[in-house]
């Protein structure tokens, strides 16, 4: 090894020199290593190559290299699959200890280790999906750092957070361990009741054990607007669209106004729209699909025949043609959008940040499926969430 004569050749000095060279080498090649790891997981898993998973690849690759996460053994990672409580505990324990454990049943040693680490006390059922509230609690308990001034981020998340989990959510957000649903400068929604997905779990755990992978939290200092109104400083993205949180808020106002009723043997649907900011438009379609019959559809679309067309502002009250009894219903579809009322610049110029899609199948007696998708990032909440019927009272006439 060549060492400059002015560099004292003691074992300590030589070791220090080698350490400096090693650190410089790591710094130089780390982007190459990262790219290699991402290419490896793309090669190993056939279901994470789509653009909508790009945001998660770095985190998945990092944990995959550490053997914290794996695939299903069939060449798939299953990024949007819900994570069960015991599966999440295993990921956390392996990430924190660097060890895997064996036992019968398989999750027993991980549960015991999680209790030893102070992550949990006693859970009745570990074999159920874990929601984002519980995820936030576990990740904060696993993070042994000091949490300061986390309350100042309370305006950055517009949800009415559960009192039981509020402190954990704000602490996790303040450290950049978690982010909310949304885009731009916020504010965001957290969606604590949403079930945790595998790609989300990998992201949060990677941020826990490697601080440079954390997301810098967005601090919203303006006063968020009240439902049905808007604040220019908090409710719009940098490119002029409504934020994800505000879009969903307006769409939920429309959703909650929709009411089905019957009068003189006929079925009707009525509803109303909030006053939107200038330059924005509502779009609503309700399709009651009947068994072996024509469907009964109404829509705000200009392509709809006059007898099936409803206004997109103010309120509406429309008869549902062809529907004579609810037992004839096969399924119900409602699509609600709030968007910028202008021509798109190109195919990538989305005019809306989110859309609500509700579907009820006559065979499902428990809940509707609601699909709220963030069209700005195409990465959050892209799954069906069940809405109990009690939370949709206006639909109960048709889905009772």
Q: Give residue 11's pLDDT.
A: 44
- How big is the chain, counted in residues? 400
- Residue-wise pLDDT for 238-295, tens only, equals 667 787 778 888 888 888 888 888 888 888 889 888 888 888 889 999 888 888 767 7
- Domain residue extents for the chain: 1-44, 62-71+79-213, 244-399
The residues pairing with 305 across neighbouring beta strands, listed in sequence order, are none
The Cα-based distances of 139 to 34, 121, 170, 190, 343 in angstroms read 24, 15, 12, 15, 44
Q: Transcribe 298-349 into DSSP letters.
A: EE--TTS-GGGB--SSSEEEEE-TT---GGGEEEEEEEEEEEE-S--SSTT-
For residue 311, pLDDT beyond 50: yes
Q: List all residues 6 or more positions away from 170 whose beta carbon is below 8 Å from its beta carbon.
A: 150, 151, 153, 154, 157, 161
For residue 55, pLDDT beyond 90: no
Q: Give residue 22's pLDDT.
A: 40
Encoded tokens for 96: 């924190």
Encoded tokens for 397: 């006439």
Q: Give residue 77's pLDDT.
A: 94
The residues pairing with 379 across neighbouring beta strands, listed in sequence order, are none
At residue 84 the predicted structure's pLDDT band, cuts being 50, 70 and 90, is: very high
For residue 25, pLDDT beyond 80: no
Q: Are 215 and 149 in contact (CB under 8 A)?
A: no
For residue 355, pLDDT beyond 80: no
For residue 184, pLDDT beyond 90: no
């Amino acid at each position: 090894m060549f060492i400059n004569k002015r560099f004292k050749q003691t074992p300590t000095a030589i070791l220090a020199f080698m350490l400096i060279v090693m650190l410089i080498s790591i710094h130089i090649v780390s982007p190459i290593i990262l790219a290699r790891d991402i290419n490896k997981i793309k090669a190993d898993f056939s279901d994470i190559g789509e653009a909508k998973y790009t945001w998660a690849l770095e985190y998945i690759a990092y944990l995959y290299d550490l053997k914290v996460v794996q695939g299903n053994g069939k060449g798939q990672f299953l990024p949007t699959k819900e994570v069960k409580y015991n599966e999440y505990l295993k990921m956390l324990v392996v990430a924190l200890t660097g060890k895997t454990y064996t036992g019968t049943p398989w999750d027993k040693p991980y549960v015991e280790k999680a209790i030893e680490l102070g992550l949990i006390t006693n859970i009745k059922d570990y074999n159920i999906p874990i929601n984002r509230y519980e995820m936030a609690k576990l990740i904060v308990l696993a993070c042994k750092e000091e949490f300061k001034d986390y309350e100042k981020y309370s305006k950055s998340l517009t949800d009415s957070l559960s009192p039981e989990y509020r402190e954990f959510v704000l602490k996790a957000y303040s450290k950049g361990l978690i982010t909310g649903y949304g885009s731009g400068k916020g504010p965001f929604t957290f969606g604590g009741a949403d079930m945790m997905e595998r790609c989300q779990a990998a992201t949060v755990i990677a941020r826990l054990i490697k601080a440079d992978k954390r997301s810098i939290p967005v601090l919203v200092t303006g006063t968020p607007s009240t439902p049905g109104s808007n604040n220019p400083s908090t409710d719009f993205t940098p490119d002029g669209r409504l934020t994800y949180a505000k879009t969903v808020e307006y769409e939920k106002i429309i959703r909650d106004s929709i009411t089905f009723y019957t009068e003189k043997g006929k079925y009707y649907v009525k509803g109303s729209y909030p006053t939107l900011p200038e330059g924005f438009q509502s779009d609503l379609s309700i399709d009651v699909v009947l068994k072996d019959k024509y469907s009964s559809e109404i829509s705000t679309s200009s392509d709809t025949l006059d007898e099936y067309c409803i206004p997109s502002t103010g309120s509406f009250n429309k008869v549902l043609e062809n529907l004579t009894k609810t037992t004839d219903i096969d399924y119900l579809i409602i699509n609600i959008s709030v968007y910028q009322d202008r021509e798109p610049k190109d195919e990538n110029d989305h005019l809306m940040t989110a859309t609500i899609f509700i579907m009820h199948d006559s065979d499902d007696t428990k809940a509707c499926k609601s699909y709220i998708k963030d069209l700005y990032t195409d990465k959050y909440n892209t799954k069906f969430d069940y809405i109990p019927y009690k939370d949709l009272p206006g639909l109960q006439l048709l889905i009772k």
